[in-house]
Amino acid sequence: MSMMKTNLNQESIMEEWQPEDLNPETKEILGRIANTIRQLAMDANQKANSGHPGLPLGCAEIGAYLWGWAMRFNPKNPHWINRDRFILSAGHGCLLQYACLHLSGYDLSIEDLKNFRQLHSKTPGHPEKLDTAGIETTTGPLGQGFGNAAGTALGLKLLAEKFNTETCKLFDNKVITLAGDGCIMEGVTSEVSSLSGHLKLDNLIAIYDSNNICLDGPLAETCSEDTLARYKAYGWDVFEVDGHDFDSIHRAFSQIRHHQERPCLILAHTIIGKGAPNKAGTHKAHGSPLGEEEVRAAKVALGLPEEEFYIPQAVINYFESKQQDYQKLESNWNTLFSTWADDNKDKAQEFGLMLERKIPDDIEAQLNQLEIKTPFPGRKASQAVTEFLGNELPFLYGGSADLSCSDMTMMKQFPIVAPGIFTGRNIKFGVREFGMGTMAIGLYQTQMILPYVGTFLTFTDYMRNSIRLAALQQSHVIYQMTHDSIFLGQDGPTHQPVEHYASLRTIPHLHFIRPAGNHEVKMAWIAALRYVGPTIIALTRQNIPDMPETVVPYAEGLGRGAYIVKKESGQAAYTLVATGSELSLALDTAKELEKRGHPTRVVSMPCWELFEAQDDEYQQKVFGGDIGKRVAIEAGVDQGWHKYIGREGIAICMEDFGASAPYQDIVQEFGYNVDAILERIL
């Protein structure tokens, strides 16, 4: 049955099923919860003298309905696997979520609300996953939470397909995201909404807080689209409700809970800053506290006491009475799981493996047995590794932004995820790099999937902010980025990354690895699997030789970030440091220097971040003492290299964008051959 638009104040058009209206007592207590949310939001913003009160006041009824009635969760176990997931895409309105988490019994105290936006508090200015129980993902940059929600919904569909049976639905939860006008306007939301509609994600619900106000003024100044028509075109079912009317909200949610077949958009008409007599409905309620006088006036208008952070006893009693219901939801699921596990022992074993996401202790030994011919492009070596890992790690899922045949992300032994068909382990994201990045975070946040995604390295610019948020919340996402240098050739400078190595190395908690040869590609994957955080593996398009010098154990080689692959024959005259495909060039150059009587050390440095994590003694072993003239060889800008080679060191790096030409012509043009390097350094 297809869901259709429900107009304001119009009875449900679904004749086959009519939801029961909320009874008056329920609506009365939900109304009190909504006003309590408003009270807590106003007081916390005012105490911090900072924040965004407009959304919490405008969406208070939505928050009260979700936490007080509609959502399935257990505050005593925020990680219960079959909970409904709420993601606040409009993260600036976080006091809505903080208030609801506190009221419903999560580990978030009234003191935490009083410490809103203070140093080291559990209530930062935008929701942060690592800080606060009940926060599913770090949000704030508009639209990205929407993408995280879409990725989580996709991941849960993959898990449901794998583990649900006709008699036991282990996964029947919903993913709910709350988005504002800013989220709806951001391009990333269009990307993920289009793909979600295509895939028919029937567990994804987006609430659009439609208050016609942006931070900078009325929405009409910048946007006049028909959002409902747009989402219908994406393949979504759409609803239109009064965001302050519990019956209107309830009718839409009840239909979705029982009859959802596609992703659903609920356009909720709200008044930003509702209750503030002079600022409600204006952009003045959006991005700064209301002010003491306006707060006092709002409390009078809403019938709230002057006491700060006041919570009515009736609201406290209501949520206390629901604690048993919350815990019963999980308890019933645990009983269901036990029955399912007894009847499906193989599936239960795989469920445990995926929930733990454990990397086998012997993974290095297994990869060492994997034969990869040489010379071989780094991208194809990586595909050989992922196809091997796919058989060993049931939680590994891959995807690409319309480039799987070029970035080699496809695990050929598994099918492709298709509309309404979620048996595959390869995801085609289409030409939606930013959306792919946000959805990868959501896939990881299912708690049972380890995602890797791919595109060309230069296109990390499209997805940079999603990579940054993955690093901020330490999401375990692996990025297989190919076409890693000017040596990709004739596609030219639009596709040739030169500033990207340096740019990506600046992101805290992101590991950027540029492996040289097949063995380092294998070891790069070990590093990426072991590091619980985001890793970019940058891989070549062109063939590169395998270098016996790099075939050392992980703990002595790539796992150190930098390591000596060739020792000097005497007192070092030169130390050459290189990454990726340039390592073979460094080794060839060192041979020529040795012939000319210049003892030369060669260091492979595939991952600066891993090297910086080593102790002083090891770092001195690689770069300390008198090791001659230091030379960095890398086909990117030289930013950052002088930390390792010193002010007097020579950086054989790029000083401009590349060029469109055959590979060998590029080599000659930019001086990445032995003769050109010798001329530079001798």
Residues assigned a catalytic role = 433
SS3 96: helix
Q: Are 74 and 107 in contact (CB under 8 A)?
A: no
Distance, in Å, from the CA atom of 503 to the CA atom of 487, rounded to the nearest integer, reads 19
Distance, in Å, from the CA atom of 149 to the CA atom of 523, rounded to the nearest integer, reads 32
Contacts of 405 (CB under 8 A, 6+ apart): none
Q: Are 66 and 55 in contact (CB under 8 A)?
A: no
DSSP string, 589-648: HHHHHHHTT--EEEEE-S-HHHHHTS-HHHHHHHH-S---EEEEE-SS--TTTHHHH-TT
- Strand 450-456 relative to strand 175-179: parallel, antiparallel, unpaired? unpaired
What does residue 154 show for φ and ψ, rounded to 5 degrees?
Answer: -60, -45
Q: Are 471 and 507 in contact (CB under 8 A)?
A: yes
Q: Both tokens of residue 263?
A: 């992703």
DSSP string, 153-191: HHHHHHHHHHH--SS--S----EEEEE-HHHHHSHHHHH
Cβ count near 399 (within 10 Å): 26
The most distant pair of C-alpha atoms in the chain lies apart, rounded to whole Å, by 93
Q: Are 376 and 547 in contact (CB under 8 A)?
A: no
Q: Are 662 and 490 in contact (CB under 8 A)?
A: yes
Residue with tokens 């308890």: 331
Distance, in Å, from the CA atom of 221 to the CA atom of 213, rounded to the nearest integer, reads 9
Distance, in Å, from the CA atom of 554 to the CA atom of 600, rounded to the nearest integer, reads 24
Q: Which has the closest alpha carbon to 136: 475, 449, 510, 478?
A: 475
Cβ count near 221 (within 10 Å): 10
DSSP 395: T
Cβ count near 656 (within 10 Å): 10
Q: CA angle at residue 201 from 195 to 206, to 5 degrees?
A: 85
Distance, in Å, from the CA atom of 511 to the CA atom of 506, rounded to the nearest integer, reads 10
Q: Distance between terminal CA atoms of the chain?
A: 76
Contacts of 263 (CB under 8 A, 6+ apart): 150, 153, 193, 196, 197, 200, 201, 202, 204, 205, 206, 235, 236, 237
SS3 56: helix
Distance, in Å, from the CA atom of 54 to the CA atom of 41, rounded to the nearest integer, reads 9
Distance, in Å, from the CA atom of 130 to the CA atom of 571, rounded to the nearest integer, reads 49
Q: Which has the closest alpha carbon to 467: 527, 530, 510?
A: 510
Distance, in Å, from the CA atom of 500 to the CA atom of 250, rounded to the nearest integer, reads 49
Distance, in Å, from the CA atom of 380 to the CA atom of 482, rounded to the nearest integer, reads 10
- Strand 563-566 relative to strand 600-604: parallel, antiparallel, unpaired? antiparallel
Our measurement of the distance from residue 135's CA atom to the centroid of its chain's CA atoms, rounded to an integer in Å, reads 14
